[in-house]
Amino acid sequence: MNKNNKNSGKAVLMVFAKAPIPGKVKTRLGRKLGMRNAARIYQDILYNFLQAMVLTDNVTVQLWCYPDSHHPFFHKCARDLGIVLKRQTGDDLGARMLHAFKANLSFDFCVLTGSDIPGINSVMVRQSVTLLKNRRDVVFLPTEDGGYGLIALTGPCPALFRNMKWSTEKVLQQTISRARRRGLVYSLLTSLPDIDNKSDYINYLRPC
């Protein structure tokens, strides 16, 4: 699996995001704060995240948009931050993630993140790349709901994405089991919360 064991190579960060349309993003948060407020919060978190990520040294940043890249907010990100826009393609999340990895075969190290985990920072992205350089096949950043908010690979691995039941508390556990069965060496970064409900958002606003 690991195709690059040297301490060099090109890295790409693929950020998966939905168009910030009220009622389509952060609906659990929207039931408490209103759908328009939830979409605005999602948009603000995503923009701040991208703004920080483009400062990561030696990493190309791509924004993978769903259902397409036409939303004005996506174009603002491309214009303001110089980010390349891509369209997510596939019948489910796993297919869309696998497509993104396959589309970046020219990169030696590929890191894919979600867009609503503001705790992810450039240090974690660089750490993921460093682990891949040091003979790890896959790196995960667990989320507190049982999934993962970041996955890093040296190349596509279809078995980690196909026929998976997404949005359950067993996603990370099942993905790790698949990696183990295939003899892949993996590492886990520190777990982080995402922002799904009002208490998550309050904790996000609370000063460190």
Residue 162 in any domain: the answer is yes
Tell me what pLDDT residue 5 has: 46
Q: What is the pLDDT of residues 135-183, one digit of tens each?
A: 999 999 999 999 999 999 999 999 999 999 999 999 999 999 999 999 9
Residue 3 in any domain: the answer is no
Dihedral angle, C-alpha 140, 172, 153, 131, nearest 10 °: 30
Label residue 85 exposed, middle or buried (CB < 10 Å: 0-12, 13-18, 19+): middle
Helix (H, G, I), strand (E, B) or coil at 99: helix
Helix (H, G, I), strand (E, B) or coil at 146: coil
Rounded Cα distance, 163 and 170, in Å: 13
Residue 197 in any domain: the answer is yes
Q: What is the pLDDT of residues 50-63, one digit of tens each?
A: 999 999 999 999 99
Rounded Cα distance, 208 and 206, in Å: 6
| Residues of the domain holding 171 | 11-205
Residue 5 in any domain: the answer is no
How confident is residue 187, by pLDDT bands cut at 50, 70 and 90? very high
Q: What is the pLDDT of residues 83-127, one digit of tens each?
A: 999 999 999 999 999 999 999 999 999 999 999 888 999 999 999
Q: Write the DSSP symbol of residue 156.
A: -
Residue 61 in any domain: the answer is yes
Count of structural domains within the chain: 1
Tell me what pLDDT residue 3 has: 52
Q: What CATH number is attached to the domain comprising 154? A: 3.90.550.10
Residue 1 in any domain: the answer is no
Residue 171 in any domain: the answer is yes
Residue 156 in any domain: the answer is yes
Mean pLDDT for 6-20 is 89
Rounded Cα distance, 126 and 149, in Å: 15
Residue with tokens 């691995």: 157
